[in-house]
Chain A
Amino acid sequence: MADGDAHTAQIALKIKAPRATSGWVRTLRSLPIVPTSILLFVLVLPAIAPQLLALHDPLEVHVPERLSPPVLFGGTWEYPLGTDQLGRDIYSRLVHGARGSLLVALTTIFIGGSVGVALGFVAGYFGRWLDSFLMRMVDVSLSIPMILLALTFAVALGPSFGTIILVIALSLWAHYARLVRGEVLGLRDRDYVARAKVAGASHLRIIGRHLLPNVINTITILATLQVGQVIMMEAALSFLGIGIPRPQPAWGRMISDGRQLIASEWWISFFPGMAILLVVMSLNLFGDWLRDHLDPKLRQIL
């Protein structure tokens, strides 16, 4: 169904004459409904106001009700998705886990993205040895396995929020730097840049006023597509026990908590995984939509 919607939207976009004035209305109408609602209800709303959606305190232990099954499998509405080995409500833990995931994703993409974009501009605009040096660093950064870097940091610094943000941001910046550099290289020698120079514009003004608006769409698309990837990275790190520290509920950690009980109490691991799957899949679909909408020529690159 979502696929159909996206398809119709694409056709609508193709038919559309030069950008209509009511662009915003059209944009909203062409939003892929299913992924957008999943994102809203599984990720964004729980992250903003978990106390409104949760039924219990995510850390509250109910020993008598431990390992009770989900509602359709012999459980009660008191714990709709069942409880874990300490009797904590899985549903409420999922709701409260969204904030950590989203927070890590937004922070790391903001930090990694800003650094990468800035370095990409420096490399593409100023060129010469700075360019070769920075691109060398990009290659190095892309060849360091993120999980091993995270494990090394975790041993050296101890696991914490700061550590995962640092590690993930370190593994993200290179993608932005490479992308922006490529775009800037293509734009740098355009006539309007030369004219701005003649008119006496400073480097900073040329970058901010004339180049940035041309690459901002590309950056936005990359950032959107990366939210899902980062949520997955964070979940993997939490699964390995070096992500979001206890007792804060995290989806990846919940999966590892239920690992040994999968044969009998499957719901402990199953639902957090479904949450990740739904959110990441929706983010991918949403990112594809955004890419098609903002910049069709990127379809090949990203």
Chain B
Amino acid sequence: MWWYLAKRLLQSLATLFVVSFLAFFMSRISGSPVDALLPVDAGQEEADILIAEWGLDRPLPVQYLTFLGNALQGDLGEALKWRGQSALGLVLERLPATMTLAGAAILLGLVIAVPLGVISAVKKGTWIDRVAKVIALLGQSLPEFWLGIVLIWIIAVNLGWLPTSGTGGLSHLVLPAITLSTTLVAAITRLTRSAMLDALDSEFIKLCRVKGVRERRIIWVHALRNAVSVPLTYFGVLAGAILTRTVVIETVFAWPGTGSLVIEAVLGRDFAVVQAAMIVFVLVFIAANLFVDILYAVIDPRIRVE
């Protein structure tokens, strides 16, 4: 298992390396990086400082190494729109809000989808199964940003149950979390259902039945434990998708996380901040996947032995 984790870690480093190269390449693709990294009204003096600091008058490979060296020290450049602040600092400052939102959505998604998937597998072909199917289909097909707007319209404006946007107590978290969790609910429900169908059909479940284990225990302990590794495999990917979607959802609900920061940065053509956000998101995605790998090994003993 340690060998397995070490290998995954090495692979993650390779991914990060490619992403850093991509980020570097993007800042150079638009012509002079001075234009990409400085405001339009910047004077020659500021340009000179930037050129000196990032070695922009030197050959490209040297520039890349400078960029990489700076990045490793946590320096991803200075924000344009927010003068005097580091791009990475801005992104990290807003990250907790995004993580709260994503965490709430993931929690909500699991709490709804896992039982729904299990029940629809157990009661295959009944109305519950059909309802689960419709929910999964809707979750796959609803444009989230639109769902968010419609929820604001119906629940916040017309019914007045919850605040429309912004932050505050827990009540501000409900609508964005629901909106963000729809795709996750759809995916996890489908995955859990098919994995449960397989598990319930297997030999060891028949043995449990023969032994006279209570049906409820068979379903929720024996079968689920075996089925849960399937949605878990996809969980890393899904978590990444959730993180990406926060960009859109935060914009809809004016949630002050990294996502809305990025959109502000795009409007202000602040390349450094967008770049820093991309790198941080990839890092979080990689961390989530490593976490899933570990969790996977904990839940499924077969991995540990290998």
Contact = CB atoms under 8 A, between A and B. Distances in A.
Interface stretch (A120-128, A215-223, A269-277): A269-277
B240 A143 contact: yes
Interface in B55-101: none
Contacts of B146: 255, 269, 272-273, 276-277
Contacts of A285: 137
A90 B152 CA distance: 21
B281 A277 contact: no
A262 B262 contact: no
Interface string B264-291: 0111011100110110011001100100
B197 to A, nearest CB: 10
A52 interface: no
Given A152-B274, A156-B271, A255-B149, A145 B29 contact: no
A152 B278 contact: yes
Nearest to B263: A240
Interface stretch (A75-83, A108-116, A134-142, A202-210): A134-142
Given A236-B248, A239-B145, A156 B153 contact: no
B22 interface: yes
B147 to A, nearest CB: 8
Contact of B30 (A136, A156, A239, A240): A156
A269 B14 CA distance: 43
Given A155-B269, A269-B146, A239 B248 contact: yes
B167 interface: no
A263 B157 CA distance: 6
Interface centre among A149, A154, A263, A285 (most CB of B within 10 A): A149
B226 interface: no
Contact of A139 (B15, B137, B265, B274): B15
A145 B14 contact: no
B51 interface: no
B247 interface: yes
Given A144-B19, A262-B152, A281-B137, A136 B247 contact: no
A152 B275 contact: yes
A11 to B, nearest CB: 13
Nearest to A288: B137
B166 interface: no
Contacts of B116: none
A68 B11 CA distance: 57
Interface string A177-192: 0000000000000000
Interface residues of B, number: 56
Given A145-B243, A145-B244, A276-B146, A155 B281 contact: no
B120 to A, nearest CB: 14
Contacts of A300: 194
B96 to A, nearest CB: 18
Interface string B240-269: 100111011001100000000011011101
Contacts of A256: 145
A139, A240, A242, A256 — most chain B CB neighbours (10 Å): A240
A278 to B, nearest CB: 8
Contacts, number: 137
A140 B23 CA distance: 13
B229 interface: no
Contact of B153 (A137, A240, A263): A263
A102 to B, nearest CB: 16
- The residue in B141, B147, B282 that gathers the most chain A C-beta atoms within 10 A of its C-beta is B141
B140 A284 contact: yes
Contacts of B274: 148, 151-152, 155
A272 B150 CA distance: 12
A232 interface: yes
Contacts of A56: none
Interface string B24-46: 00110110000010000000000
B18 interface: yes
Given A148-B277, A232-B143, A255-B143, A240 B247 contact: yes
Nearest to B266: A151
A28 interface: no
Nearest to B270: A155
B149 A269 contact: yes
Contact of B251 (A155, A232, A240): A240
Contact of B282 (A144, A156, A157): A144
A140 B19 contact: yes
Contact of A140 (B14, B130, B145, B277): B14
Interface string A211-236: 00000000000000000100010011
A273 B138 CA distance: 13
B283 to A, nearest CB: 10
A147 B11 contact: no
B251 A284 contact: no
B237 A142 contact: yes
A270 B26 CA distance: 36
A157 B28 CA distance: 10
17 contacts: A136-B11, A137-B18, A140-B19, A143-B282, A147-B247, A152-B23, A156-B26, A156-B29, A156-B271, A236-B145, A239-B145, A255-B143, A262-B150, A262-B152, A263-B153, A266-B153, A284-B140
Leading 5 A-B pairs by shortest Cβ distance: A273-B146, A281-B141, A145-B244, A156-B30, A280-B141
Given A151-B274, A276-B146, 11 more contacts: A139-B15, A143-B286, A148-B262, A156-B26, A239-B143, A240-B251, A241-B266, A255-B145, A259-B149, A284-B140, A300-B194
